[in-house]
């Protein structure tokens, strides 16, 4: 199966479009965990064990692990080892460099850590992304339209009468010959998300910004899914990870993930079934 087929199979088997962002901040995890040798690894273990049956994917922003040095890398490896094979793992590093550098980045993410997918930026063109895309089973999520205020600096610039992000999407569609490319579109851009899905009917769309960032969940489901109600990854991090700061944090995370999954599925039934 190519990556898009793998993602659809995971979403169907898990009955979920939820992607939890495993972006642990040592300053925010419960204090009692700091008695462990690797508090972040222990925090992630409990989150994964309490939520893995409710999600289709986990997305790990590599910066949260890189900042911790060796213990961060240890925590990342320990976390990946816990995630069931039926659940997609996404390395969120937003890579994209000249060819030989991208080869090394891709080797690290896809071979050493064995992630299922990567996030990349398109600014340097296809040769900078090709190393991530050679294996059709591994996904490549290209930044299309982000939710940060600075998105307006470049992503909305008009090029031949169309915003730059539309040119990115059209190019990604051409690159998607093996069925393993997708897009990243912020949930705080619902009107543009609707337009983007119309342009990219069959591409997976990773949609961060659900939860603490305030993205409109119903619109993200309605406009982000494909025609059959799949291929959107609705991503929440802080609203799940830090649902509680007490000893019940894992149970609270499960409750938050369950509520999110069920709310998404209600919307899917309304719009797509």
Q: Which residues are catalytic?
A: 94
Best CA proximity match to 23, nearest among 114, 80, 92, 100: 92
d(C-alpha 151, C-alpha 32), whole Å: 39
| 167: Cβ contacts below 8 Å, ≥ 6 apart | 159, 160
Q: Please compute Rg for the chain using Cα positions.
A: 18
Decide if 18 contacts 264 (C-beta within 8 A): yes
Half-sphere exposure of 62 (CA within 13 A, CB side): 16
What DSSP state is assigned to residue 157? -
Q: How would you label 186-204 residue by residue, b for 16+ Cβ within 10 Å and e otherwise?
A: bbbbbebbebbbebbeebb
């Amino acid at each position: 199966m190519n990556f898009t087929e793998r993602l659809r199979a995971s979403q169907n088997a898990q009955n979920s479009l939820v992607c939890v962002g495993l972006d642990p901040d040592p300053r925010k995890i419960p204090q009692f965990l700091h008695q462990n040798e690797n508090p972040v690894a222990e925090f992630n273990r409990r989150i994964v064990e309490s939520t893995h049956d409710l999600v289709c994917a986990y997305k790990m922003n590599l910066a949260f692990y890189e900042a911790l040095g060796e213990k961060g890398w240890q925590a990342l490896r320990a976390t990946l080892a816990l995630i069931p094979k039926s659940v997609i793992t996404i390395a969120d590093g937003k890579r994209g460099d000249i060819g030989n550098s991208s080869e090394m980045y891709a080797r690290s993410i896809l071979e050493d850590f064995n992630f299922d997918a990567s996030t990349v930026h398109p600014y340097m063109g296809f040769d900078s992304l090709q190393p991530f895309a050679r294996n059709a089973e591994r996904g490549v999520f290209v930044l299309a339209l982000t939710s940060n205020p600075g998105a307006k600096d470049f992503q909305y610039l008009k090029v031949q009468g169309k915003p730059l992000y539309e040119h990115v999407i059209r190019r990604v569609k051409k690159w998607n010959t093996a069925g393993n490319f997708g897009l990243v579109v912020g949930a705080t851009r619902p009107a543009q998300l609707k337009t983007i899905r119309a342009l990219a009917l069959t591409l997976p769309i990773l949609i961060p910004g659900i939860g603490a960032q305030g993205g409109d969940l119903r619109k993200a489901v309605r406009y982000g899914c494909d025609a059959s109600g799949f291929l959107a990854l609705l991503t929440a991090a802080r609203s799940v990870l830090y649902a509680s700061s007490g000893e019940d944090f894992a149970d609270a995370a499960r409750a938050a993930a369950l509520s999110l999954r069920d709310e998404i599925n209600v919307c899917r039934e309304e719009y797509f079934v």
